[in-house]
Amino acid sequence: MSWLSVRTRIGPSLGRSLSKATRTHITPRRALSSRVPQGPIGNQMILVGGVSVALAAAAISSSPNSWFGLPKVVKEVAEEVIAILPEDQSENDAKVEVEEPTQSNKTVASSQNITNPYVLVGAGTASFSALQTILEKDVNAKVVMIGDEDELPYMRPPLSKELWYGPSESGDLKFKDIGHNDRSVYLQHTQDTQYVDSVEALQAKEGQGVAFIKGVKVVGLDAKEKRLTLSNGDTVVYEKLLLATGGSPRTVSELENAEEEVKSHVTLFRKIEDFRKLKEISDGAESLVVLGGGFLGSELAIALAHKGATSNMKVTQVFPEHGNMGFLLPQYLSTATTEFMRNENVNVIPSASVESASMSNGKVILKLTNGSEISTDHVVVAAGIEPNVELAQQARLEIDPKFGGVLVNSELAARSDIYAAGDCASFHDITLGRRLVEHHDHAVVSGHLAGENMANSTQRKSFEHQSMFWGDLGPKLGYEAIGIIDSELETVGVWAKAKSSTAAQPSGENSGTITLAERQKQDEDSEVFNKGVVFYLRNKKVVGVLLWNLFDKIPTARRVVKDAKQVDDFSELAKVFNVHQ
């Protein structure tokens, strides 16, 4: 079927008549949707076979012989329009300008036919969470989700955690969760939801529906016209828009500017395809280098060391901080974590960065700023992410100058009918102030709230829920946290100290409490910090809580942060976390 766009300038008489005919015969849209692709009446109309009802009505009103060649349904509607035209209708009352069809016109026409379309840019956790909520709140929702990966929506945490420890090496992307249940990294709908692969297919679908356009990037956003431009040249019109564009892995300039052969031995770790690639490389590698000492870099380094234990693969971790997760943990705990990593067969090189990279005999040679040199088969960059805000910048949305994300209010709105959630959103936390959070649980929570506000804009809610995050350094060490976790803040740690050199003992004569506020001398053995809680303070109020090998206490930590009270006795506060049990 060919489409032709026609711009009409209609006089008041024909305009009133068309309006009446539209109300009588074309609304609701589904009345004719099975026969004629619908478009808005007025400035932009859609023609079937090169003729619109408006064009037919204008032509027929001046020439009764103009029926020839019109589709029957167009004739019927046009005839009804003519029947209600005033007798003094002037032949000059309607002027028609024909515009040749383009790919963009075709796509815009299709998307405009969908009543109140929701469009989600991004196909990660935040977007998926918003999608679930919209479908729950709006029984007639038509949703278009656009992702630049050729994958279904999936969760990222298992890519650096569980998938490296499971018994299966088949690459099926399944793992055991904390309850030992089989899980897939691909996100599952709570209801039976089937994706269609185009806006046109969504238009043809009765009732609620979702079009998932994957492997395509959104390259343009016209906020005034509510129109998106895709990398394949298509355009999509929206009523409510969510920007859930996530983030891109930070690069290392010395590797980015290196020769092509070096680049072929470098992986920026972020996506499923990166996991698959690294899994395959690690099967035959003698050595790997991980650049990055934060959450992701540390998790990945210890996971690779675990895998390499059976093949004698050497894993080296390099980062500029003084210790693992040095920008998050107080220095004593960061130092203890580095010792833990070394005990797990990771060669940790802190306080160093890459100075240059070259190739020699098929190996990557990294020269470091501390003067040392490393030879390795492959380099993995896991040094955090930068929020993807290019689309928002192009649309002249406001970008947070401090955190770099799309600036949104407490309702996650960037401007009218545009929302942002997940890694790319700098939001107003009503308890802790402006923040940008790059964790899975935040993506779930913020996506849910954005979706709820999109579906019910008359009663929008503010972001009040404190999301949490968690991490695992192999099967022996895990942590959970909530609020602001920043090593630059004042911290107070309360720890169950084991006098035995193996593990923390139950509360009793073998346990004690260490509070850093009292600046007690610490045992150098890292086992001192086997289990405990760290409070992060700002203006003497708790703004963050880190639970180290202490689980199922997030609701308690959430209450402590929400209360925002000054604390005098942290040993007493720690009792609610059962540190000594």
Mean pLDDT score, 21-36: 33
- Statement: residue 95 has pLDDT above 70: no
Q: How much is the pLDDT for 568?
A: 86
- Phi then psi for residue 297, to 5 deg, are -60, -40
- Statement: residue 459 has pLDDT above 90: no
For the segment 379-397, what is each residue's pLDDT rounded down to a tens digit? 999 999 999 999 999 999 9
In angstroms, rounded to a whole number, what is the distance separating the alpha carbons of residues 255 and 232?
30
Percent of the chain with pLDDT over 70: 74
Cis bond before residue 475 (omega within 30° of 0): no
Check if CATH label 3.30.390.30 holds for domain 476-577.
Answer: yes
User: CA 453, 456, 460: angle at the middle one, nearest 5?
Assistant: 50
In angstroms, rounded to a whole number, what is the distance separating the alpha carbons of residues 445 and 330?
28
Dihedral (CA of 72, 78, 84, 87) sign: negative
Mean pLDDT score, 524-537: 78
Mean pLDDT score, 177-190: 86
Q: What pTM does this model have?
A: 0.76
Distances 270 to 363, 444, 530 between C-alpha atoms, Å: 23, 18, 30
Instruction: Quote the mean pLDDT of the chain.
Output: 80
For the segment 290-311, what is each residue's pLDDT rounded down to a tens digit? 999 999 999 999 999 999 988 8
Taking every pair of Cα atoms in the chain, the longest distance, rounded to a whole number of angstroms, is 104
Instruction: Specify the pairing of strand 378-381 against strand 385-387.
Output: unpaired
CATH assignment, 253-383? 3.50.50.60
In angstroms, rounded to a whole number, what is the distance separating the alpha carbons of residues 203 and 114?
6
Q: How much is the pLDDT for 116?
A: 64
Q: How much is the pLDDT for 171?
A: 66
CATH assignment, 118-152+187-247+387-459? 3.50.50.60
- Statement: residue 86 has pLDDT above 50: no
Mean pLDDT score, 505-519: 36
- Report the Cα 515 to chain-centroid distance in Å: 38
Q: How much is the pLDDT for 287?
A: 98
Token pair recorded at residue 342: 């070394």
In angstroms, rounded to a whole number, what is the distance separating the alpha carbons of residues 298 and 280?
20
In angstroms, rounded to a whole number, what is the distance separating the alpha carbons of residues 118 and 242?
8
- Phi then psi for residue 75, to 5 deg, are -60, -45
* DSSP 3-state of 290: strand
For the segment 477-495, what is each residue's pLDDT rounded down to a tens digit? 999 999 999 999 999 999 9
Annotated domain spans of the chain:
3-101, 118-152+187-247+387-459, 253-383, 476-577
Domain 253-383 in the same topology as domain 118-152+187-247+387-459: yes
